[in-house]
Amino acid sequence: MSNTHVPQRYTSLELPEHAGILGMSVRAAERVIEEARPGQGLLDLTGADTHCFPPPDWVLSDFAEAASGGGPTYTPARGDGAVREAVAANLTRFLAVPVDPERRLILTPGTQAALFTAISALVEPGDLVVLPDPDYMLTERICRFFGATVERVSLTLTDDGYADLDLDRLEELMRRRPRMFVFSNPNNPSGAVYSPGLIKQIAELAETYGVFVLADELYSRLVYDGRTATHIVDDERVRDSSLTLLGPSKTESLSGYRVGTAVGPDWMIDRMSDVLYVSAIRCPAYAQHTLKRWMSEDLDFVARRVAVYQELRDAAVSGLNSIPGITVPTPGGTSYVFPSFRELGVSDVEFCRLLKEEAGLVVNPGFQFGMNSSGHIRICFAQDPAALNDALARIGALVERISGR
């Protein structure tokens, strides 16, 4: 049975067209990087160090109270009613649009599940979905899993921390009436923040061509230099034809609890709720309660964290730019930098393998975020400051060895 039929949707996860760049499929390339010397005390730069930057104190106690009888074990697929009421009130303030807890909000097992259920509830095989390149590494795979074709729009991080999106290309693709435009704002992996003007232009194109917009705003509290994130749902032209994903997994370090939220039109929330019911039943019931104080009692906490992360960002950017052959603009948001190593003349797979085997560092290769983003690596700088400095020194030493070869 080892050669049991492989369904098309599973095969589609592999992104085979990347093989031209990588010399192998995406999963094979990822495995080369993942499997190099596993478990040898490597420093993982793919996500934040949540031990160094833990969640607010009340998170675990609110969970424990719910798990000890304070909260129901079985909730509706879209989440506990009382939790949704609290979350909706806080999101109404954050987004500056009314969030109806019964009709326009769903709690999901992480933002990933929100992305997956949203795409599954809208795209048909053969549909076109448009994404920036680079953008979140699993969006294209989900679209392909459900039979959609993905086209990319080039995105660049400008020197002032904002996103420069190729709007001519976007309009060209919008004319083909894609089912969705999906984008992360701030952009994962580059840290580019979408300016109010750019958001307005995207909303206008979406309205003109009748395209649903999915805005992954997972990093919208993590913006620097006094910026604020612009929420596309604030534009009335797409209020009922967009979905906004938000969650406490990044800035607030709740990734281990697997909770997220989505705000959108009632028909979309209904569909996501039906899909969530068959795919996962519900967002973990006790963990739902960790959302009640989110975005209300954590304002000072987040302000302090953003200040600390901004210092780490500056250290990462200046450290990386001091390495000959590595260049990176300063991101306006997220906990990532996305430096280019194209001058070094090594492939993503080779550079990441060397980083792991010779420098003891695990990073995400650029190809994961889009075919045109190879020649970059994504580094999460939300690390213990000494560990980050050590990692930067190790990258410098490796690059020196590569350049001398």
- Residues 373-402 binding its own copies (CB under 8 A) are none
* Contact present, 103 and 76 (Cβ < 8 Å): no
* Contact present, 159 and 330 (Cβ < 8 Å): yes
Which residues ranging from 286 to 325 are in contact with its own copies (CB under 8 A)? 286-287
Give me the least distance between CB of 279 and its own copies, in Å please: 5
Give me the least distance between CB of 67 and its own copies, in Å please: 5
User: Which residues are 184's β-sheet partners?
Assistant: 216
* Contact present, 99 and 106 (Cβ < 8 Å): no
Per CB under 8 A, the segment of 56-64, 222-230, 316-324, 364-372 that binds its own copies is 56-64
Nearer Cβ to its own copies (157/205): 205
With tokens 């995400």, the residue in question is: 364
Per CB under 8 A, the segment of 59-67, 159-167, 322-330, 353-361 that binds its own copies is 59-67
Helices 385-404 and 299-321, axial angle in degrees (round to 10): 20
Q: Using the CB atoms, write b or e for 103-139: b if 16+ within 10 Å.
A: ebbbbbbbbbbbbbbbbbbbbeeebbbbbbbbbbbeb
Give me the least distance between CB of 168 and its own copies, in Å please: 25
Asked if 136 touches its own copies (CB under 8 A), the answer is no
Query: Two tokens at 10?
Result: 């599973």
Nearer Cβ to its own copies (195/261): 261
Give me the least distance between CB of 27 and its own copies, in Å please: 7
Which residues ranging from 28 to 47 are in contact with its own copies (CB under 8 A)? 39, 44, 46-47
> What CA–CA distance (Å, rounded) separates 239 from 102?
17
Binding string, 65-94, against its own copies, x = CB under 8 A? -xxxx-x-xx------x-------------
Per CB under 8 A, the segment of 86-94, 117-125, 163-171, 346-354 that binds its own copies is 117-125
Query: Two tokens at 330?
Result: 């300063």
Number of residues that bind its own copies (CB under 8 A): 71
Spacing of C-alpha 197 from chain mean position: 22
Which residues ranging from 138 to 157 are in contact with its own copies (CB under 8 A)? 138, 141-142, 145-146
Asked if 338 touches its own copies (CB under 8 A), the answer is no
CB count, 10 Å around CB of 393?
13
Spacing of C-alpha 53 from chain mean position: 19
Binding string, 242-271, against its own copies, x = CB under 8 A? -----------x-xxxx------x-xx--x
Asked if 123 touches its own copies (CB under 8 A), the answer is yes
* Contact present, 108 and 260 (Cβ < 8 Å): yes
Q: Which of 309, 178, 289 is nearest to 241 (CA)?
A: 178
Nearer Cβ to its own copies (108/195): 108
Per CB under 8 A, the segment of 118-126, 128-136, 341-349, 395-403 that binds its own copies is 118-126
Query: Two tokens at 206?
Result: 């979406």
With tokens 């679209």, the residue in question is: 143
Give me the least distance between CB of 141 and its own copies, in Å please: 5
Which residues ranging from 187 to 246 are in contact with its own copies (CB under 8 A)? 210, 212, 240-241
Nearer Cβ to its own copies (38/404): 38
For residue 54, cis peptide bond before it (omega within 30 degrees of 0): no
Per CB under 8 A, the segment of 109-117, 159-167, 330-338, 383-391 that binds its own copies is 109-117
Nearer Cβ to its own copies (19/138): 138
Please, what is the Cα angle at 189 between 390 and 132, to 5 degrees?
160
> What CA–CA distance (Å, rounded) separates 256 from 55?
10
